[in-house]
Structure 1
Amino acid sequence: MSAQAPSSVVLVRAERFVPNQATAADNAFQAAPPAGRSDEEISALALAEMDAVARALREAGVRVHVFADSDHTRPDSVFPNNWLSTHAGGSVAVYPMYASNRRHERRADVLEMLKSSYRVQTIIDYSGLEPDGIFLEGTGAMVLDHVSRVAYAAVSYRADTHVLERFCTDFGYEPMAFDAVDSSGVPVYHTNVMACIGTDVALVALDMIPDHARRAAVRERLTVNGRRVVELTEMQVREFAGNAVELCGRTSNGRRRYVMAMSSRARRSLRDDQVAVIEESCEIIDVDIPTIELAGGSVRCMIAGVHLDRRRDDGHRPASAAVAAIDEERGLGA
């Protein structure tokens, strides 16, 4: 099994969803809801999209842990990858968040589920850096190459290089920080909107890295072990083509199945030649989530991958009543 593609994920099913005004200033991907739509209507549409993502992943044979969230003060809780990451060998990281109204997205019940259902040796919590104005928003701020052990990060308010270095020391990654901007000179707020790293393919907008030497260094590091690079345009990035994630599922007969999960909007933006390169190593699975994308994130932001070994004594049961029922389709169990 690839170290890059987790076979289990955590999703948050948020009953209340609206684009977060506290993050709009530096998130150029956010958009206002359609005129005339109430918050209740927006939330209902987003909830249906969250369920569609969970359903598509389960149908691909991915193990999905869904946590309900009825707290109306957490507009971005559908994006758990910003506060949580897991790592082979039993390590978990908890991250400092830039927007104050996002900091209570961190949930003890998610961590308890991980500890009871997977082998967790240590949890390193960086959230204490928030009072000092130092932030690193998880696998939004970093795109991690778990195979070559490289942490790619576009420098921003949400990706401080000092805590990046600290994370890399603690977890054994090589830091690869760079500046990335759009055609108007606006910094990219999260690295995972412009880059996705799979086992054998990477989707990345290299042209958004203005320093040519750094751009070449990123390309070289991505391809050193034979990985192919699909170069995205800025337009494709704005359609969330970079906000994808490779996962490992199962077919109906139990064989491994590698998939690249992305939004339908992202899939439509890709050229045929780009799709062909991606599908040489994994199948594209796309879900239409236009409401959730109003918040400036897409499918990758919704998924916190679980790179941990499962416990075989967990009884195939969720650890908390907050965890929604998990499908046992295709004989995979919970």
Structure 2
Amino acid sequence: MSTFRSIQAPAAVVMVRPHRFTPNPETTADNAFQSDAAKDQARAIADTAHDEVTQAVDRLQAAGVRVHLFEDTGERDTPDSVFLNNWFSTHSGGHVAIYPMYPRNRRRERRSDIIEMLKAEYRVRDVIDYSGLENDGLFLEGTGAMVLDHMARVAYTARSNRADPVLLERFSTHFNFEPIVFDTADTAGRPIYHTNVLMCVATEFALLGTRTLTDPRRAQEVIERLQESGHEVIDLSQEQIANFAGNAIELSGRDGRILALSQRACDSLTARQKARIERSARLLPLAVPTLEMAGGSVRCMIAGIHLSPRDTTAQPGEDA
């Protein structure tokens, strides 16, 4: 297994620990991965979700990943706040993007304290805020809507009401990405709401639910583009996609790269798929079954930091 770190696999992340987690009633219409929760179980569900995040953070830190953990006590009615990767992303060169969200109650998840932490701890040159475009009906839900290849500068995007093509072009111009858009469908024929449930791009491999792409020719073009950029494509079945096997993220740990994914996702992989992944990154399964009730999994819970840390040893007046 390679220990080489890459810009694709950040060594630091941001996470949010929810205190009043519940599946979001505003996202059930287009999120087929979501489950209903009984109202009389709300407190137990919230407590279990809180514990799942705590345990996930502990395991990531034990692996050598730096985790900036923020609390969401729930006063703002933000049931999906744990899935923070949808409202902001960070990029090499000191760039940060803030995104417009499709569900109205998810717009309350954006937090100035997270952006201020990034400015204080890392070198941030600019923050491009697209959130005002919500008033124009334009949405692009961050690294849920886009799966970014930071090395080859490609933004893979499944067409949906969470990813407006005009805004995708604008993002791609600002951040120097090539947009590659495709149509998808689940087993019931519905478009898949976020790209990151069917696709994960790591340093040396990519997980892809090729059969979720409705146009076989376009699917082949996506495969070839991944291969051109040096990725071994590992095909995921529809059943594995339903078990969140595509919702993974590669990170840099103390002893090399790791692939963080849910226990459910890991259990759905075949022995051959696991062996292919572990030639490049160690599998780190995290148990988050309660959080997965909301239709997202480990990738959605983690916002990677692709920024350079500030030199905290610099003296006042010196350039940090």
TM over 0.5: yes
Are residues 1:128 and 2:127 paired?
no
Classify the secondary structure of the residue corresponding to 1:139.
helix
Match of 1:230 in 2: 234
Which one of the candidate residues 41, 44, 57 is aligned to 1:38? 41
Q: C-alpha separation between the residues in 2 aligned to 1:7 and 1:286?
A: 17
Q: Return the offset for 1:309.
A: 0.1
CA contact (8 A) 1:16 1:70 kept: yes
Are residues 1:142 and 2:141 paired?
no
Q: Return the offset for 1:37.
A: 4.7
Letter in 1 for 2:273: Q
Which one of the candidate residues 205, 209, 218 is aligned to 2:222? 218
CA contact (8 A) 1:259 1:283 kept: yes
Q: C-alpha separation between the residues in 2 aligned to 1:147 and 1:221?
A: 13
Q: C-alpha separation between the residues in 2 aligned to 1:192 and 1:137?
A: 11
Are residues 1:60 and 2:59 paired?
no
Match of 1:301 in 2: 300
Letter in 2 for 1:81: N
Moved more, 144-153 or 203-212: 203-212
Are residues 1:155 and 2:159 paired?
yes
1:262-302 Cα deviation digits (max 9, x unpaired)? 00000000001100110000000001111000000000000
Same amino acid, percent of matched pairs: 53
Q: C-alpha separation between the residues in 2 aligned to 1:241 and 1:212?
A: 21
Are residues 1:24 and 2:18 paired?
no
Classify the secondary structure of the residue corresponding to 2:138.
coil
The number of residue pairs the alignment matches comes to 309
Match of 1:291 in 2: 290
Q: C-alpha separation between the residues in 1 aligned to 2:105 and 2:266?
A: 31
Q: C-alpha separation between the residues in 2 aligned to 1:76 and 1:226?
A: 35
CA contact (8 A) 1:11 1:66 kept: yes
Structure 2 residues not aligned, in runs of 5+: 315-320
1:65-92 Cα deviation digits (max 9, x unpaired)? 0001112400000011000100000000
Structure 1 residues not aligned, in runs of 5+: 252-256, 316-334
1:194-219 Cα deviation digits (max 9, x unpaired)? 00000001001011111122111100
Letter in 1 for 2:65: V
Are residues 1:13 and 2:17 paired?
yes
Root-mean-square deviation (Å): 1.1
Letter in 2 for 1:48: D
Classify the secondary structure of the residue corresponding to 2:116.
helix
Which one of the candidate residues 153, 178, 183 is aligned to 2:182? 178
Classify the secondary structure of the residue corresponding to 2:7.
coil
Judged with a 3 Å threshold, the aligned counterparts in structure 2 of structure 1 residues 104 and 314 are, in CA distance, closer, same or farther, namely farther
Match of 1:329 in 2: none
CA contact (8 A) 1:116 1:314 kept: no
Classify the secondary structure of the residue corresponding to 1:297.
coil
Letter in 1 for 2:174: D
Q: C-alpha separation between the residues in 2 aligned to 1:304 and 1:37?
A: 32
Are residues 1:116 and 2:115 paired?
no
Q: C-alpha separation between the residues in 2 aligned to 1:109 and 1:66?
A: 11
Q: Return the offset for 1:314.
A: 7.1
Classify the secondary structure of the residue corresponding to 1:38.
helix
Q: Return the offset for 1:151.
A: 0.0
Letter in 2 for 1:173: F
Match of 2:317 in 1: none
Classify the secondary structure of the residue corresponding to 2:267.
helix
Judged with a 3 Å threshold, the aligned counterparts in structure 2 of structure 1 residues 159 and 36 are, in CA distance, closer, same or farther, namely closer
Q: C-alpha separation between the residues in 2 aligned to 1:243 and 1:287?
A: 12
Q: C-alpha separation between the residues in 2 aligned to 1:214 and 1:292?
A: 32
Q: Return the offset for 1:39.
A: 1.1
Q: C-alpha separation between the residues in 2 aligned to 1:66 and 1:8?
A: 11
TM-score by length of 2: 0.95
TM-score by length of 1: 0.91
Match of 2:260 in 1: 261
CA contact (8 A) 1:12 1:67 kept: yes
Q: Return the offset for 1:225.
A: 2.8
Match of 2:169 in 1: 165
Q: Return the offset for 1:149.
A: 0.2
Letter in 2 for 1:130: E
Classify the secondary structure of the residue corresponding to 2:162.
coil
Which one of the candidate residues 94, 99, 105 is aligned to 1:95? 99
Letter in 1 for 2:55: A
Q: C-alpha separation between the residues in 2 aligned to 1:81 and 1:176?
A: 20
Q: C-alpha separation between the residues in 2 aligned to 1:120 and 1:225?
A: 28
Letter in 1 for 2:306: H
1:126-175 Cα deviation digits (max 9, x unpaired)? 00110111100000000000010000000100011110110000000000
